[in-house]
């Protein structure tokens, strides 16, 4: 089920107004338009759940399975040193969109991140990074890099 007043349900899932990097029957991953770092990806269920308390358990596992699957392609595409995987539940935990989502944030040694000073990325930049990540999803070499 989609929600009428949810930006992810309406703009991302229904209108496809997003740079999608991965999709299956239940889960969709796309570029965050306000990245904490370049390559910031959001992974969401394709039906509306607000947070970790109400999300269907199997769907929760599927979202996190896809999140793990995408970590290596994101790290490689951005030449990242490390990656944050996380999600926020509730306003006081910094949740901004009330549709369950997992953040994949590539990290670079010596660079701090800030949730409050998020960048607005251009469509060209998002598209270019999305294409690089998609190319890495298709890369059959699954050699695991050493994270820093």
Contacting residues toward Zn ion, per CB under 5 A? 3, 6, 8-9, 48, 99
Least distance between Zn ion and beta carbon 11 (Å): 10
Residues 116-135 as b or e (16 or more Cβ within 10 Å = b): eebeebeeeebeebbebbee
Helices and strands, counts by H and E, the chain? 3, 5
Least distance between Zn ion and beta carbon 106 (Å): 25
DSSP 64-91: HHHHHHHHHHHHHHHT-SEEEEE---SG
- Reply yes or no on whether 40 is catalytic: no
Is the CB of 40 or the CB of 48 nearer to Zn ion? 48
Least distance between Zn ion and beta carbon 100 (Å): 8
Is the CB of 13 or the CB of 83 nearer to Zn ion? 13
Least distance between Zn ion and beta carbon 18 (Å): 13
Residue of 40, 48, 99, 101 marked catalytic: 101
CA distance 5 to 50: 12
Is the CB of 99 or the CB of 103 nearer to Zn ion? 99
Is the CB of 3 or the CB of 51 nearer to Zn ion? 3
Output the CA angle 123-103-50, nearest 5 degrees.
105
Task: Give the active site residues.
Answer: 101
């Amino acid at each position: 089920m989609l929600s009428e007043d949810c930006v992810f349900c309406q703009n991302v899932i229904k209108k496809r107004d997003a740079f999608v990097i991965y999709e299956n029957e239940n889960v969709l991953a796309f570029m965050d338009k306000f990245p904490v770092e370049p390559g910031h990806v959001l992974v969401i269920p394709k039906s509306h759940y607000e947070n970790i308390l109400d999300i269907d358990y199997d769907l929760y596992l599927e979202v996190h399975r896809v999140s793990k699957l995408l970590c290596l392609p994101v790290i490689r595409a951005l030449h990242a040193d490390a990656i944050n995987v996380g999600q926020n539940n509730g306003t006081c935990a910094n949740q901004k969109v009330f549709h369950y989502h997992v953040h994949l944030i590539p990290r670079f040694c010596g660079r701090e991140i800030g949730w409050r000073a998020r960048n607005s990325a251009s469509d060209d930049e998002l598209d270019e990074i999305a294409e690089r990540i998609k190319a890495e999803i298709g890369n059959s070499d699954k050699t695991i890099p050493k994270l820093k």
